[in-house]
Amino acid sequence: MARQLSEMRNWQQETSLTHNRVMVIGTLMLIVLIALLYRYFSLQVIHHEKYRVQSESNRIGFRLITPTRGVIEDRLGNLVAVNEPSFTLTVSPEGIEDLDRTLETVGQIIDLSESELEVFRTALKRRRPLSDVPLKYRLDDKERAVLAVNKHRLPGLKIKSALSRYYPYGDLLGHVVGYVGRIGVDDIAPDDEGDYRGLTHIGKIGLEAQYESVLKGRAGRSRVETDARGAELGVIDRELALPGERLELHLDVGLQAVAAKALGDRRGAVVALDATNGGVLAALSNPRYEPNKFVNGISNTDYSLLRDSRDAPLINRVIQGQYPPASTIKPMLGLAGLNLGLIDANTEVKDPGFYMLAGDDRRYRDWILRVRGTGHAPTMKLQESIAQSCDVYFYDLANRMGIDPMAEALKSFGLGAKTGIDLPSEKAGLIPSSDWKREALGESWYGGETLIVGIGQGYSLSTPMQLAAATTVVANRGVAYRPRVVRAVNNEPIAPEILTEVDAPDGHWQTVIDGMVDTVDHVRGTAHGMKRGLSYSVASKTGTSQVVEIAQDAVYNEEELSEYQRNHGWFTAFAPVENPKIVVVVLVENGGGGSAAFPVARQVMDYWFAQNE
């Protein structure tokens, strides 16, 4: 049987089949081997550099180094914006099963205010995936210790150290220095995103915003070796961050504090300029706000209180408050009248206490009429009209001049235009003209409106900073420098820049300035009350800015008006007269008149001369 089976098998066929199978397997193995050799050659030779870089990137990580923001200091070296080491409690939601319960636990361990929780929840909605959200800033030593002891109860929470912006003088300099805040969606243009890598904050307002480009610095980076889990094993090399530059201000913190104390809790503004270069020595706006609340996010509740307040603490009245300049423009109009030859120093105008246009039965009253029942004197000249703030004289001068020449004269002093101060969001004010009214209101100009503009009322609007610059023109007999808060950047001084120039004979300047001197020195001067004890000479002008319109024969009774309907009080001054060093402008909102403003200016100037004698 076996022999029959053996005879039946085809040994030759089986041998051939086996040989073919071996050849196929061998060929396949050779192909695989060649492929493996080629792949090995490709990895090690052809694409060596590519995969070396990929390997390095898996092993080496990059860490951004946050730059230190530039500090800001006043003229005497007092730091007004600094960076303080601080500790922040952060939350990583991905590592927490029950966030509400965790927050409740944290609240049992340390104090968490409703404001802090509100800011946290807002930031939580806006956060990027896998990023930590700050819960509480500026942890003190006790809070850090308590949190460390309870670390096992708080998964997903970390304590991080960093530098935080801090304003040592709080609300005293809030409107000028401004504040930084966390970078928002609309804060950076797409082209500038690269400049903010590694940064979390940006200047929002004030000097922090105006000088953002020099204050922010530039982030550095370090190459670090990491393990498979991403943990740092060591630093390979480092490119240091470039710190922001230091700002040195003209501003004097001590002078600012004196202005704040003198103004008290009244709404208003105080400006002090260096007459020799336009440096801003003080710039106070009342009421004020605390800038430190904004640095790491202010709660909606706190912000709403500021935003909705009738007293508008967020407005910088120094450059954004626009008010009728009232009688403070009379010296400038007087000079214009002299320059145009419409009057001279001896021109007399009858003063019965009111003024009337030909063919018009309306009486344009002088403020003195309600006090004395008559005018200042039978006739008035320019010098005494400035000192006593005679409206009738300037009604007559405005009528002679006409609205358009008058507008041009006032604009030559810089009124009705931005000063270009190095602070954001400055307002331009308004000096009306016939063309302006036609374009803005679609109406013709009337002669009575000219008289009203002649005493700084009607459509006229100015900011305290504009009036300070215009007063500087008078102080310097023809030139004012652009107001500037920053004196130097990293010890590089910023040169003064001429803002405006007004040409006039010296005699004309002298007549106007003599009238401003008599405002204080003469017994009938409207600021004679500040004369007592003066150790320096002062040239000044008071102003009463009307808030509500009074009917022609009605009497202004302050007691019958609400506080917000009462007149604003202005006072402008420079000293010493013979060699002006400082220009001061004070506005007291609803203060009743200039008598509310000049005591504030007196305290500011007294302090300045006491410190700089």
The catalytic site residues sit at 327
C-alpha separations of 170 from 164, 174, 217, 550, 565 in Å:
15, 7, 24, 41, 31
Question: What distance in Å separates the CA atoms of residue 197 and residue 45, rounded to the nearest whole number?
Answer: 37
Closest to 485 (Cα-Cα) out of 258, 225, 271, 230? 271
Question: What distance in Å separates the CA atoms of residue 474 and residue 540, rounded to the nearest whole number?
Answer: 10
Closest to 445 (Cα-Cα) out of 404, 387, 477, 479? 404
Q: Residue 545: which region, alpha, beta or left (left: phi > 0; alpha: psi -120 to 50)? A: beta
Q: Answer yes or no: are the C-beta atoms of 539 and 475 closer than 8 Å.
A: yes
The structure tokens 């500040």 sit at 530
Sign of the dihedral through C-alpha 121, 122, 125, 127: negative
Per-position b or e across 47-66, b if 16+ CB within 10 A of its CB: eeeeeeeeeeeeeebeeeeb
User: Tokens at residue 555, please?
Assistant: 């009497």
Cis, bond preceding 576 (omega within 30 deg of 0): yes
User: Tokens at residue 152, please?
Assistant: 């096992």
Helix H segments across 505-581?
506-521
How many CA atoms lie within 13 Å of 259's alpha carbon, on the beta-carbon side? 31
Closest to 459 (Cα-Cα) out of 440, 472, 475, 474? 440
C-alpha separations of 318 from 186, 286, 332, 424, 571 in Å:
27, 9, 21, 12, 14
Strand 280-286 and strand 268-274: pairing?
Answer: antiparallel
Q: Answer yes or no: are the C-beta atoms of 473 and 480 closer than 8 Å.
A: yes
Question: What distance in Å separates the CA atoms of residue 533 and residue 516, rounded to the nearest whole number?
Answer: 18
User: DSSP readout, 385-418?
Assistant: HHHHT-HHHHHHHHHHH-HHHHHHHHHTTTTTS-
Q: Answer yes or no: are the C-beta atoms of 217 and 69 closer than 8 Å.
A: yes
Question: What distance in Å separates the CA atoms of residue 250 and residue 75, rounded to the nearest whole number?
Answer: 5
Question: Residue 205's CB: how many other CB atoms inside 10 A?
Answer: 22
Question: What 3-state class would DSSP assign to 202?
Answer: strand
